[in-house]
Structure formats: structure tokens, C-alpha cells
Structure 1
Amino acid sequence: MPRPSSPILSTDLIADSAIALVDAGKPFGVNALARQLGVTPSSLYNHVEGRDAIVELMRGRLAVQSEIAVPEGLEWDAVVEYVVRSQRAMFAAHPLVLPLLVGKPVTDVTVLGYYEALAEALLSAGFPDDDVLVIVAVLDAFALGSGLDLSAPPEVWHADPASALGRLVSRGEPGRERADRAFDLGVELLLASLRARLATEEAALSNGAATA
């Protein structure tokens, strides 16, 4: 039986090829992806609705490959740390994909799943509804920035050696070591701030109940 003249398309193959195309720094689009796959654009449209749908396939594929699934039974702060660390690792592996992802609404069920787990953990801990979505956005921005930081040059600041910044740079850790330390400190500060905020909220509720 002769082999097919073009690859048998699937959403996973489309997503993987799109990720590889962007990771290589090549222009991304339906036509470019079709050429990469050796098929016609119309063949792609039999599987996806268009460019935005391909981007969302990429988002979901990255989450699946990164195996981001919040374990059950974790305390809220452990859920926060798990999601932030998992996202950072995922984003760091594909920094060129990030601009595509942040420009589109999240609809992939796998990705929405870990955001849902994060929101549920914060709500269950006692954070007010009005705060939770903002906290999720803050954590998201931190993970995105920290992921991109891993693709920064070893020396981020070229400052005058006689300046305060220049002196600190000369004594500081370069590259990945600096990025990892910055990320760990950021996680520590975020969690400390969230714990303090939650304690303040609980104290306010307790005082309100006592005076009622």
C-alpha cells in the first residue's frame, strides 16, 4: 500500500508543528504552518477554524506537555506555588510563543482547569471574590515575566562600575542563577503578602462578627 503523499493531520500534530515554527523564530500564520506541514491551507481549515484556533491549540498542547495538573489536597498557598512554578517552566521553554498566547482569550479546557483550581483554592481560603481574579492576574503576570527572564542575556544591566547598580551587578549572580534566585524570592514575597492579606481579612471579619 503506497504511503500518503502528505501527513495525516491531527490537532496535536498541528499544535506541535506550530510551536516548532514559532520556537524557530519563523513567521507564524496559516500559510506558513501549511508549508511547514507540507499540506495546503485548506487541509488545515478542515481541522481548525483559523489562526486564533491554532494559537489556542498551542496553549493547550504546552499545558499538556508540561503536565500541569494541580494535585488534590494541597493547601491554598501550595496551589499558588505549584501553578506559578509550573507556568514559569512552561513559558521559559517557549518564550517566542508567549506574545501569541497573551494576545488571545484563554479557552482551552486544560489551561482553564488549572486556573479554576487556583481560583477555587483562593476562594476556599477566604479571599474575597473581588480580590481573587486580581490575584490570579498578578500571579499570571509574575509567571510570564519570570519565564521570559530566563531567556534574558547573562548580564542584564551594563551599568557604570562606580554606580550602586554597577557595584551590585559585579557582585551578583549571572544568568540562570540570578533568574532562579529572583524567582524564588518573588514567590516568597507573593506568598507572604497573600498570607498577610488573608490574615487581615480574617481579622476584619472576626471583629465585625464580635461587634454585631
Structure 2
Amino acid sequence: MGRPRTPLLDRRRIGAAALRLADEKGALSIPALAKALGVAPSALYHHVAGRDDIISLMREELALVTGDDQDWSQPWEQSLEGWARSYLAAFAAHPGAVPLLATAPLAEPFMHAMYEKVAVLLLDAGFATKEVMPLITALESFVLGSALDLVAPPVMVSDVARDTTPHLSAVLDQTPADRSRATLAFDLGLRALLTGFRDLLRP
């Protein structure tokens, strides 16, 4: 038989398969990824340097499928809100990958380019240079947690005894017992974060 017209593997295919595997299994390993792709583990190393390189490809795949249509010309609060919402949508589509993507070093130039835009946005808004990365980290941490909350059970606090926790019971009575709970929490939390950011600019 002749050689296939197209390579069996390429970096784009590896990144997409790794995302799917993380979603399905909540973990990533070279043997499992090779099996999912129908190749021997050694074949992967013709295209990637190792696990960190694969996670980088997962980030790149996520960026490719979500696009970068963020309007950074808006006032800083609207730009940050739009970024947070697009970030949430991307991670919510791949919740199993969140722990991997959130803890691996960000060495990719395309990620650096995105952070450059956010840094310029915040510096131009008047935030101190030393505040910028903590603000970005705080917002990202909130988005990552919210992405996990979107795929958590609709009711997270259950079997509450009304006689011993009457105030908690009253609060839960006013909390939706469906997926909208997570959306409401994200909307309120994002508003609170941006309000807190704004307070840092006040003299």
C-alpha cells in the first residue's frame, strides 16, 4: 500500500483530541491520547515535545475555535466584561480541561499577545503597574471557578435542616434549583469584581 495522502497526525489534530480526552476523562496522559488517536505513543513525539507541549496545543485549539473578536476599544469595564464572558464560554465548553489549562505555564506567544492587550487596557485606565497582574489573575480565577460551577449539579447545598439553619434555608428558598443558579452567580460576581476594580482607581 502507498503512503497516505495526508499525515495521520498533525499538531492541530493532537490538540483537538487532547481537549476531547480531557473532557471525557478529566485527565490527560500520553498513552491515553495515543490510543484515542489510534497511534503508538512514540508517534506523538514526532510532533510534540511532551505533556506541556500538548497542553499548549489544547490552548491553541481553544483559541482557534473561539476566535478573538473581542473589542478592546471599548471602555475598560466593558472590555473586561466581554473578555470574561468569552473566556467563560470557552472554558465551559471544555470543563474537563480547566484544571490542566489553569495550572500549566503560559508560554505561548498568542497567549502573551492577549495578555498584552489586557495589560494595555488596564494601564491606560489608570491602574498601577503592580496591580495589573493581580487584577488579571483575580478575574481569571473567578472565570475558571465559574466554568466549573456551570457543569456542577444544579443544587450544590442540599439536605439543610431548617430548624438549625433558618437563615441559610431562607436564602436557599430564593436560589434557583437549576442551571440558572450558576449564571446568576457569575453575573453578580462579575459585577462585584468590576465594582471593586473601579474602587481602586478612586483617589
Matches within 5 A, 1:7-86: 8-25=8-25, 27-86=27-86
Residues 72, 79 of structure 2: 8 Å contact kept: no
Please give the alpha-carbon distance, in whole angstroms, between the structure 2 residues aligned to 1:26 and 1:188: 30
Residues 26, 96 of structure 2: 8 Å contact kept: no
Q: Which runs of 5+ in 2 are unaligned?
A: none
Query: Deviation of residue 2 (structure 1)?
Result: 5.3
Q: Tell me whether 1:168 sits opposite 2:171 in the alignment.
A: yes
Q: Which runs of 5+ in 1 are unaligned?
A: 201-212
- Cα 1:82–1:177, aligned 2, differ >3 Å: closer, same or farther? same
Please give the alpha-carbon distance, in whole angstroms, between the structure 1 residues aligned to 2:119 and 2:11: 29
Letter in 2 for 1:45: Y
Please give the alpha-carbon distance, in whole angstroms, between the structure 2 residues aligned to 1:175 and 1:186: 18
Residues 15, 54 of structure 1: 8 Å contact kept: yes
Letter in 2 for 1:91: F
Q: Secondary structure at the match of 2:49?
A: coil
- TM-score, normalised via structure 2 length: 0.90
How many positions carry a matched residue from both structures?
200
Query: Deviation of residue 132 (structure 1)?
Result: 0.7
Please give the alpha-carbon distance, in whole angstroms, between the structure 2 residues aligned to 1:43 and 1:4: 15
Letter in 2 for 1:146: S
Q: 1:89: which partner in 2?
A: 89
Please give the alpha-carbon distance, in whole angstroms, between the structure 2 residues aligned to 1:139 and 1:39: 39
Q: CA RMSD in A?
A: 2.0
Asked which structure has the greater CA Rg, the reply is 1
Query: Deviation of residue 69 (structure 1)?
Result: 4.3
Please give the alpha-carbon distance, in whole angstroms, between the structure 1 residues aligned to 2:7 and 2:178: 40
Letter in 1 for 2:43: S
Query: Deviation of residue 74 (structure 1)?
Result: 1.8
Please give the alpha-carbon distance, in whole angstroms, between the structure 2 residues aligned to 1:184 and 1:27: 29
For residues 31-67 of structure 1, the C-alpha deviation after alignment (integer angstroms, 9 at most, x for no partner) is 2111111112222111110111001110121122122
**Greater Cα shift, 150-159 or 104-113:** 104-113
Q: Percentage identity across aligned positions? A: 38
